[in-house]
């Protein structure tokens, strides 16, 4: 894996570093957002509106951006524009005086994410040899998740220096601008493909890719926010002071497993890795439901993080196999959108069941993951032929 990683194109590493800086900037702010909203009269409802609106906008933009990049052949421009927009919008949260202004700032930030995500994945696919694409996506996700570790640590350090909350949020412009400059460097030598004939790309997403998206949707509907894991830890008696440490440990574990998972997807086929990932997710959530204490629950983070490592790179690598080259941006846009659109109902249903009995919520998520495995097994073939092997939970 290490030898293969050294051979990855420089664009992959550069875009990974861009995501690391961007996530660091975003996660400097994300943990502080509830406290910031409280200073302007916003509570839990305002936080829900802010995050729900922002993610909903991003989901629709991802579809449009992926298709537009494919039809215009200008993936690099979308990537740079998306990172720049987010870098400028994010620190404006330090200036808000009312909750609605937070909705606007976060929506612009997520709009930028929506613009860049699918074209960026299309560039990574285009510059990476087919036999190393799983590893490329795994490395990118590893660096992205590492940014989620660095960002909160940066915020904690600045707060420890007694800097005001709004000043710390404003500091997010530094990694944000650096990520934009690095994105410009990363795509400067990327030659956009000529725009294809629009008649040739009409209905360009094959039926098998749509069936794959259905399986992803079923999985995503059971994949609630990881913040619920922290809520359960607190409910089992973990001291509040240790909650941030638990969060950082999960992000670090995810980052450690991403690259090995991507390399395995290249060796064994992404379909097999997705089987394994979703099965491990189901087992993890079933175990979460039965965990008797917070040390056991926290210990299960190791198993749960393995599912991220196996699945994040494999899911994108699988999509690449199912669509023609000229439709990669469109396909990635749909893939990102499916996850985004499922986020709200997944969290609402999980939250409702959690208020009844936490075991019901975790059990329902495990069941949906198993349904997704069945759909993947029965409706989606791996065009590489890896599907000929029987794989089960």
DSSP secondary structure string, 15-57? HHHHHHHHHHHHHHHGGGHHHHHHHTT--HHHHHHHHHHHHHH
Q: How confident is the model at residue 206 (pLDDT cuts 50, 70, 90)?
A: confident
Work out the average pLDDT over 64-75: 78
Average pLDDT (378-391) is 55
The pLDDT assigned to 192 comes to 52
Phi, psi dihedral angles at 215 (to 5 degrees) = -60, -40
C-beta of residue 60 within 8 angstroms of C-beta of residue 118: no
> Are the beta carbons of 110 and 63 closer than 8 angstroms?
no
How high is the pLDDT of residue 213?
A: 93
CA–CA distance, 258 with 277 (Å, rounded to integer):
12
Q: Which residue has the tokens 């609605």?
A: 100
User: Which pLDDT does position 35 carry in this prediction?
Assistant: 78
Burial class (CB in 10 A: 0-12, 13-18, 19+), 185: middle
Strands (E), the chain: none
b/e burial code for range 358-383 (CB count within 10 A of at least 16 → b) = beebbbbbbebbbbbbebbeeebebe
Evaluate if residue 371 carries a pLDDT over 80. yes
Whether the CB-CB separation of 37 and 165 falls below 8 Å is answered with: no
**Band of residue 173 on the pLDDT scale cut at 50, 70, 90:** very high
In angstroms, rounded to a whole number, what is the distance separating the alpha carbons of residues 34 and 42? 8
Question: 225 near 343, Cβ under 8 Å?
Answer: yes
Query: Residue 138 and residue 16: Cα distance in Å, rounded?
Result: 10
Report, as an integer, the average pLDDT of 84-111: 89
Rounded to 10 degrees, the C-alpha dihedral 130/256/309/133 comes to: -10
User: What is the predicted pLDDT for the residue at 391?
Assistant: 44
Tens of pLDDT, residues 121-161:
889 988 899 889 999 999 999 999 899 899 989 988 898 89
Which pLDDT belongs to residue 375? 93
With a CB cutoff of 8 Å and minimum separation 6, the contacts of 68 are: 78, 329
Mean pLDDT score, 55-83: 81
Q: Is the pLDDT of residue 389 over 50?
A: no
Of the candidates 12, 8, 51, which has an alpha carbon nearest to the alpha carbon of residue 33?
51
User: pLDDT band for position 197 (50/70/90)?
Assistant: very low
Q: Could you give the percent of the chain with pLDDT greater than 90?
A: 40
pLDDT level of residue 256 (50, 70, 90 thresholds): very high
Please give the CATH number for the structural domain made up of 2-193+202-382.
1.20.1250.20
For the ranges 196-200, 268-272, 343-347, which has the lowest average pLDDT?
A: 196-200
Averaged pLDDT score across all residues of the chain: 85
């Amino acid at each position: 894996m290490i030898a293969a990683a050294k051979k990855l194109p420089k664009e992959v590493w550069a875009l990974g570093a861009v995501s690391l800086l961007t996530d660091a900037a975003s996660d400097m702010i994300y943990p502080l957002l509830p406290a910031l909203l409280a200073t302007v009269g916003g509570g839990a409802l305002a936080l829900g509106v802010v995050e729900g609106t922002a993610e909903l906008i991003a989901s629709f933009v991802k579809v449009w951006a992926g298709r537009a990049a494919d039809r215009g052949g200008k993936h690099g421009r979308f990537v740079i524009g998306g990172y720049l927009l987010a870098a400028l919008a994010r620190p404006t949260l330090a200036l808000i005086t009312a909750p609605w202004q937070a909705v606007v700032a976060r929506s612009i930030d997520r709009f930028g994410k929506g613009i860049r995500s699918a074209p960026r994945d299309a560039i990574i696919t285009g510059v990476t040899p087919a036999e190393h694409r799983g590893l490329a996506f795994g490395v990118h996700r590893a660096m992205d998740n590492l940014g989620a570790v660095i960002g909160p640590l940066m915020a904690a350090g600045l707060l420890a220096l007694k800097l005001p909350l709004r000043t710390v949020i404003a500091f997010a412009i530094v990694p944000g601008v650096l990520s934009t400059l690095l994105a410009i460097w990363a795509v400067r030598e990327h030659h956009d493909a000529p725009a294809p004939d629009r008649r040739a790309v009409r209905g360009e997403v094959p039926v098998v890719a749509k069936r794959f998206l259905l399986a992803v949707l079923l999985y995503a509907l059971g994949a609630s926010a990881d913040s619920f894991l922290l809520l359960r830890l607190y409910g089992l008696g973990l001291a509040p002071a240790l909650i941030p440490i638990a969060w950082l440990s999960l992000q670090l574990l995810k980052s450690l497993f991403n690259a090995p998972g991507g390399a395995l997807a290249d060796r064994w086929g992404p379909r097999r890795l997705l089987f394994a990932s979703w099965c491990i997710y189901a087992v993890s959530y079933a175990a979460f439901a039965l965990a008797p204490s917070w040390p056991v629950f926290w210990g299960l983070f190791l198993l749960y993080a393995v599912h991220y490592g196996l699945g994040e790179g494999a899911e994108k690598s699988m999509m690449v196999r199912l669509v023609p080259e000229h439709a990669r941006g469109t396909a990635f846009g749909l893939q990102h959108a499916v996850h985004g659109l499922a986020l709200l109902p997944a969290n609402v249903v999980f939250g409702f069941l959690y208020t009844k009995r936490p075991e019901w919520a975790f059990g329902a998520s495990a069941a949906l993951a198993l349904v997704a495995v069945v759909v993947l097994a029965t409706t989606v073939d791996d065009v590489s032929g890896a599907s000929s092997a029987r794989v089960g939970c």
